[in-house]
Amino acid sequence: MRIMREPYGYAYAEKSRLKETYGGPEGQVFVECMRIRPEEGESKTVILFSHPIGGGSFLPMVTALAKAGRHVIYCNTRYRGNDTALILEKCVLDLGACIADLKQRFGYEKVVLGGWSGGGSLSLFYQDQAEHPTITHTPAGDPVDLVAANLQPADAILLLAAHISRSVTMTEWIDPSILDEDRPFERDRELNIYDPDCPNQPPYSEAFVARFRAAQIERNRRITARAKQTLAELKATDPDMERPFVVYGTMSDVRWTDPTQDPSDRRPYTCYLGEPRIANDGPVGLGRFTTLRSWLSQWSYDESRANGVTNGAGVSCPTLTINNTADLACTPSHARRLFEALGSKDKTYVDIEGADHYYMERPDLLPTAVKTVTEWLDARGF
């Protein structure tokens, strides 16, 4: 089936003292989208994919769903390709504006959120606030009124190769051997799983894993405390002041070095960014460059509101959770925890055996995933 790709954009007004994106006029947000659909045939239902930093309009699943006859829109938030200063509450506003726009622009009547990878927790965060709006400020205390935004709830959600949240993922990957952020390369050997002289070697004991996980949470909380203190000091002088900073060591997880942890069909001793030891301090590591406000909104274990487990409990629409069993980014425990937390009465869980995160290594399994999604949608009148 031949498909069409139609790029478009929309702008909407936003009152905000702070600017986290490069360029553009003040008081206005511009969001770019891509509509992918069959060359022939109309639809009253659209699958809307989004991700905090976007960039997924050419994902194999997105294209394959369009080739299967589905209308798909990929929405890039204002933070396209750069999460340095990203505020997740504002991603929700962008997604809400996109839904309102596509209904008016294209006449779609039903919207299914496609939550791929980090888009899963964003979809649940959005839907929770659309069904039960409560947020009027960011974790840093800056105004961002999701209550007055009149967010339109989606009709269903697809959680595809999704993780729980950016904050939980950061915490499960952060290097606990870093005890001082000002001396990030002086590391505790007993917690440094990439040090060949580390006394704790795989397969790890339950006691070591428990200690390692607790130390990861402690480090996240130390960074959070420092961010809050620094922000308070800046606000005492000027409420709009901000500071960027670097977070080293964000790809250290016992799952990468010990295949018995959260076991799956994934290839051992690697991660979706390549060799974990290199990615741990490399320039494209998770949350490597961030700001005080952004850390609190998207990476803080305690302060971030975008948490699939917490938000999922407030979601009532039908949901489909697909776990790719060879995923190098989102391991099975994340999919299972998301599924179990969902408040939906109509919820379905499916494993795609042997599938990797993007279906790049196993493109032969993509039709299985597409069939699972389309049959699930058809059965519910979507």
Domain assignment of residue 292, yes or no:
no
**Which segments within the chain are labelled E, that is strand?**
3-13, 28-38, 45-51, 71-76, 110-116, 156-160, 244-246, 289-291, 319-324, 347-352
Same domain, 282 and 328: no
Cα gap 373→201, rounded to integer Å: 41
Task: Report the pLDDT value the prediction gives residue 258, as an integer from 0 to 100.
Answer: 97
Whether residues 260 and 347 share a domain: the answer is no
* pTM for the predicted model, two decimal places: 0.97
Query: Can you give the pLDDT at residue 23?
Result: 75
Q: Cis peptide before 203, with omega less than 30 degrees from 0?
A: yes
**pLDDT score of 1 more than 90:** no
> Binning pLDDT at 50, 70 and 90, where does residue 259 land?
very high
* Average pLDDT value for residue range 271-285: 94
Instruction: Kindly state whether residue 296 falls inside one of the protein's structural domains.
Output: no
Q: Write down which residue in 228, 253, 286 finishes a domain.
A: 286
State which residues form the domain around 26: 3-165+304-379
Residues 225 and 248 in one domain: yes
- The number of folded domains in the chain is 2
> How far apart are the C-alpha atoms of 56 and 62, rounded to whole Å?
8
Q: Let me know whether 321 and 282 are in one domain.
A: no
Segment 103-114, tens digit of pLDDT: 999 999 999 999
* 340 C-beta neighbours (distance < 10 Å), count: 12
pLDDT of residue 18: 80
Around Cβ 238, how many Cβ atoms within 10 Å? 8
Q: What angle do CA 330, 72, 157 make, to 5 degrees?
A: 50
Tens of pLDDT, residues 95-145: 999 999 999 999 999 999 999 999 999 999 999 999 999 999 999 999 999
> Is 272 among the domain residues?
yes
Q: In terms of domains, do 126 and 222 share one? A: no
Compute CA distances 130 → 138, 158, 311, whole Å.
Answer: 16, 16, 11
In the chain, what are the helix, strand and coil shares in percent, each to the nearest 5?
A: 35, 20, 45
pLDDT at 157: 98
pLDDT greater than 80 at residue 213: yes
